[in-house]
Copies of this chain bind each other. A is one copy, B any other.
């Protein structure tokens, strides 16, 4: 029987969990400071909650759970694994509408499951880190989100990211001005979204292939080359002017936040998802194809279970991609890169086991992460074991030390050994270990 995790999923061994928890901890702390509140929903939903919400392709990628008991043999499914964090949010907004604040700002950091064909960097179980602000159409919402995601990334140590900002209505106005028929707008946006990936000629070919005239395709592509040309084009439309003002308001508010210097207006940003209705945003770094995260305003979706529009704007950070880039760049702090134990207490002989536990207790009260070797093996074997686990220090209480109330502490990285009063050990190790402050 295979002992590998299922296809497309991963086991996270201690060093992996530490890296993930470091990133999640930063995300959570920053979002908390921005007044976002945590939400968690079940891993599965009733199947009718999810089916039909993600298009034809999405329906196929949903993991479906077999009915149980006597119905199991029917082969029918009644539950399905969470596919994103937005549909569950919409359900929560409908279910608890009288309990939630008028402006509900929530963050949610949970795994989702998609039956995609597994590939490098594409998993069937992966985490999403979403913020969504429900209930207001104010540009303050977008500005706060731009500021919050910026602080997440700078706190993690990123300096060189850019945030592209655009507006779905601007794109619509541009497509109208370029005489692309309304029925082709959706497909045209999907093609335009690939501009960075497949280039001008690739997009032109795709647009024409989808039925856009050569002239219209050229008008679109020219507009993306030149911001003033784009603005002139969209200002001609009824909707274009107000949408551009909204972008300007968001930008001007964002300039007074940490997002300044990162965010800029990028007319060609389209974002693939069909549900955006206003501002759209995307974060990129030079050394990653694709984005570290993105979002936008989608005023029609969160109200789906309420039967009315509810203003909403959200931003989703890609945890797996952030971890990939941080790992490749060596951005994790030493305290994370090291092991999970600051000191291992050795066991001198069977009679000293109680004393080893007592010393471990004292060091733990000093805030250290302490392991105790479980058996009275040869000291050399115990040292070797500690080294293999990247434990920086071992503590030894032999017969002499016990008689004198001292402890010998060996730094396994340098080999230096020092004997000191028992009460000094915790501070000595705390000063020398690689630990989160």
- Asked if A374 contacts B40 (CB within 8 A), the reply is no
Nearest first, the 6 A-B pairs at minimum CB distance are A75-B75, A35-B371, A9-B42, A14-B37, A17-B38, A136-B374
Interface pick from A138-146, A166-174, A231-239: A138-146
| A65 vs B8: C-alpha distance when bound (angstroms) | 15
- List residues of A (91-127) whose CB comes within 8 Å of B's CBs: 91-92, 94-96, 99-103, 105-106, 111, 113, 115, 125
Residue positions of A touching B, CB distance < 8 A: 1-6, 9-14, 16-18, 20-21, 32-35, 37-46, 48-49, 60-61, 63-66, 68-69, 72-77, 79, 81, 91-92, 94-96, 99-103, 105-106, 111, 113, 115, 125, 133, 136, 138, 140-141, 143-144, 147, 151, 252-253, 256-258, 305, 340-341, 344, 347, 353-358, 360-361, 364, 367-375, 385, 388-389
A374 CB → nearest B CB, Å? 4
A28 to chain B, nearest CB (A): 9
Within 8 Å CB of A94, what residues of B? Answer: 3
Task: Decide: A11 near B92, CB < 8 A? Known: A101-B389, A374-B136.
Answer: yes
B17, B49, B256: which contacts A1 (Cβ < 8 A)?
Answer: B49
Count the copies: 2
The answer to whether A63 and B35 touch (CB under 8 A), given A40-B17, A44-B6, A102-B385, is no
Complex: A430 Cα to B149 Cα, angstroms: 24
Taking CB atoms, residues of chain B closer than 8 Å to A369 are 32-35
Q: Are A140 and B13 interface neighbours, CB within 8 A?
A: no
Report which of B40, B141, B357, B374 forms a contact with A12, defined as CB distance below 8 A: B40
Residue pair A11, B42 in contact (C-beta under 8 Å)? yes
Contact A33 B368 (CB under 8 A): yes
In the bound complex, CA of A48 to CA of B4 (Å):
12
Which residue of the partner chain B has the closest CB to A37?
B14
Whether A6 lies near B45 (C-beta < 8 A) is yes
CB atoms of A357 and B33 under 8 A apart: no
* List of B residues within 8 angstroms of A4 by Cβ: 95
- Give CA–CA (A102, B258) in the complex, Å: 47
B14 touching A357, Cβ below 8 Å: no
Please, could you name 14 A-B residue pairs with CB atoms under 8 Å apart, sorted by A?
A3-B92, A3-B94, A12-B40, A20-B40, A33-B368, A42-B125, A64-B68, A136-B375, A138-B375, A140-B372, A253-B354, A253-B357, A256-B357, A257-B361
Residues of B contacting A143 in the complex (Cβ-Cβ under 8 angstroms): 357
**Per a CB cutoff under 8 Å, which of B10, B18, B38, B102 touches A14?**
B38
Chain B residues with CB under 8 A of A91: 3, 5
Contacts of A64 in B (CB 8 A): 65-66, 68, 72
The answer to whether B5 touches A41, judged by C-beta atoms less than 8 angstroms apart, is yes
CB distance from A26 to the nearest CB of B (A): 14
Distance in Å from the Cβ of A398 to the closest Cβ of chain B? 18
A341 to chain B, nearest CB (A): 5
Q: Are B341's CB and A35's CB within 8 A?
A: yes
> Does A60 contact B68, Cβ atoms closer than 8 Å?
yes
Are A374 and B140 in contact, with the CB atoms below 8 A?
Answer: yes
Contact of A144 with B357 in the complex, beta carbons under 8 Å: yes
- Which chain B positions have C-beta within 8 A of A368? 33
